[in-house]
Amino acid sequence: MVLEVAILAVKSGLESDFVNAFHKASPIIAGMPGYLGHEIQRSIENPSRFILLVRWNRIEDHTVGFRQSAGYLEWKSLLHHFYNPFPQVEHYEAIAEG
Amino acid sequence: MVLEVAILAVKSGLESDFVNAFHKASPIIAGMPGYLGHEIQRSIENPSRFILLVRWNRIEDHTVGFRQSAGYLEWKSLLHHFYNPFPQVEHYEAIAEG
């Protein structure tokens, strides 16, 4: 199991539009092979910042399967114009859970 | 429910020591009032980087309850010397889950 982490900096004033667009986009990622679940959360300290956590079976389910899918084109067109700067995505593996 | 997020940059060469110290420190945070669960995960792209996710009932359970506890002194002495730079901590609230 791999955790994709992206800190999303949304352009000021577009936060509500982003939340609405994210709700529309969610089924795209949720339908991908190897998708195990996701959360999107909003920063309390900086309400223009969000964190997206996506759990994948294998890293390639995200980096290859999702990014080379037709659904990714729709995901991009729904979401990518909200970000400034464009987010860095990192993948993590569990070492301990509580 | 509040999600505490900290990206932990561990000094190069000390990653295994950090993992061992984190296992020792985990029961401290897990025993705090308002603690709901945690995960620590290691970056695949940069194995000196870890992400700590802690779920709290309320933000004050972390910012006041934990940080003003006696256990926090032990937590600090077990873990804080591993970090460079010292991590920024941010708190998030869910807007959608999948």
Query: Taking the mean position of all CA atoms in its chain, how far away is CA A48?
Result: 15
Q: Specify if A98 maps to a domain.
A: no
Q: For residue B76, give the CATH number of its domain.
A: 3.30.70.100
* pLDDT the model gives residue B96: 57
This model of the complex carries an ipTM of 0.93
DSSP A14: -
Q: Specify if A68 maps to a domain.
A: yes
- Please list, in sequence order, all residues whose beta carbon lies within 8 angstroms of the beta carbon of residue A78, skipping any fewer than 6 positions away: A21, A24, A25, A28
**Does residue A20 sit at the B interface (CB-CB below 8 Å)?**
no
Q: Specify if B42 maps to a domain.
A: yes
Contact B95 A42 (CB under 8 A): yes
The C-alpha atoms of residue A96 and residue B38 are separated, in whole angstroms, by: 9
**Structural domain total, chain A:** 1
Query: Taking 90 as the threshold, does the pLDDT of residue B98 lie above it?
Result: no
Q: Specify if B70 maps to a domain.
A: yes
The C-alpha atoms of residue A26 and residue A9 are separated, in whole angstroms, by: 18
* pLDDT the model gives residue A96: 56
Q: Which residues of B touch A41 (CB under 8 A)?
A: 3, 92-95
The residue count for chain A = 98
Is B10 in contact with B82 (CB distance < 8 Å)? yes
Helix B15-30 and helix B70-79: axis angle, to 10°? 170
Q: Specify if A7 maps to a domain.
A: yes
> What confidence category does residue B97 fall into, taking pLDDT thresholds of 50, 70 and 90?
very low
- pLDDT under 70: residue ranges of chain A: 96-98
Q: Specify if A25 maps to a domain.
A: yes
* pLDDT the model gives residue B5: 98
Instruction: Give the pLDDT confidence of B28-80 residue by residue, as tens digits.
Output: 999 999 999 999 999 999 999 999 999 999 999 999 999 999 999 999 999 99
Q: Specify if B98 maps to a domain.
A: no
Angle at B74 between CA B70 and CA B80, to 5 degrees: 125
Give residue B59's domain range. 2-93
Query: Taking 70 as the threshold, does the pLDDT of residue B82 lie above it?
Result: yes
* pLDDT the model gives residue A55: 98
Q: Specify if B82 maps to a domain.
A: yes
Specify the pTM.
0.94
Q: Which residues of B touch A15 (CB under 8 A)?
A: none
The C-alpha atoms of residue A69 and residue B75 are separated, in whole angstroms, by: 44
- Tell which residue, A46, A59, A52, has the closest CA to residue B42: A59
**Does residue B93 sit at the A interface (CB-CB below 8 Å)?**
yes
Q: Which residues of A touch B37 (CB under 8 A)?
A: 97-98
**Does residue A98 sit at the B interface (CB-CB below 8 Å)?**
yes
